[in-house]
Amino acid sequence: MDQAYLNQRAEPSEKDQVMQLVGFVIGKEQFGVDILSVQEIIRSASITAVPNSPDFIEGVINLRGSIIPVIDLRKRLNLPLKKKEEGSATWILIINVDERVTGFIVDSVTKVLKIQTKTIEPPPDIVVAGLKSQYIHGVCEIENGLLILLDFSRILQIKEIKKLKDFDED
């Protein structure tokens, strides 16, 4: 009887593991990021521009005393720019990437998604062939289309991380 109880408590196999993602939208595309890397989600923060920063860096915000760089994910992923609607709020995902807290502007945040890890497929070869696609961790099908999983540890290249570190020191 003890053995039966132990078998029920066994760890789920890798095929049965579920990954929780925060879903968000940029344009018509749906993206996801591991919920464990999301520190928080904020709306309508006052962003201060930083001179001589790369074009995809919108600026910085003060989040409870911490100065955090904010990156426009649409620009970073080279997605078509959209017109800013009057009075529309900005969604910022605050993500902890390799012990570095960074804000990423997205169009909207949808919901927390539970995805079985076995359903995540690597990005198609034609997508991986492009240098800018190193950010894509995988693709999976959800109820209303495809979800692109982003690897935020690769969104910034080493030289860009160095620029951000130099900025922090100033």
pLDDT of residue 169: 53
Rounded average pLDDT per 10-residue block, the chain, 170 residues: 46 67 89 91 88 86 90 84 63 88 92 88 64 72 84 69 56
Q: Determine phi and psi for 123, rounding to 5 degrees.
A: -65, 150
The fraction of the chain above a pLDDT of 70, given in percent, is: 71
Residue 96, burial from CB neighbour count under 10 angstroms (0-12, 13-18, 19+): middle
Domains of the chain: 17-169 (2.40.50.180)
pLDDT of residue 131: 44
Structure pTM?
0.77
pLDDT of residue 4: 47
pLDDT of residue 8: 47
pLDDT of residue 56: 85
Beta strands in the chain (DSSP E): 18-26, 29-34, 38-43, 57-63, 66-72, 91-97, 100-106, 108-116, 136-142, 145-150
> What single-letter amino acid sits at 7?
N
3-state helix, strand, coil in the chain (%, to 5): 25, 45, 30
All residues at 6 or more sequence positions from 138 whose CB lies less than 8 Å from its CB, including other chains: 120, 121, 122, 123, 149
All residues at 6 or more sequence positions from 128 whose CB lies less than 8 Å from its CB, including other chains: 122, 136
- C-alpha separations of 82 from 44, 77, 147, 166 in Å: 17, 13, 21, 31
**Token pair recorded at residue 1:** 């009887």
**Token pair recorded at residue 45:** 């923060």
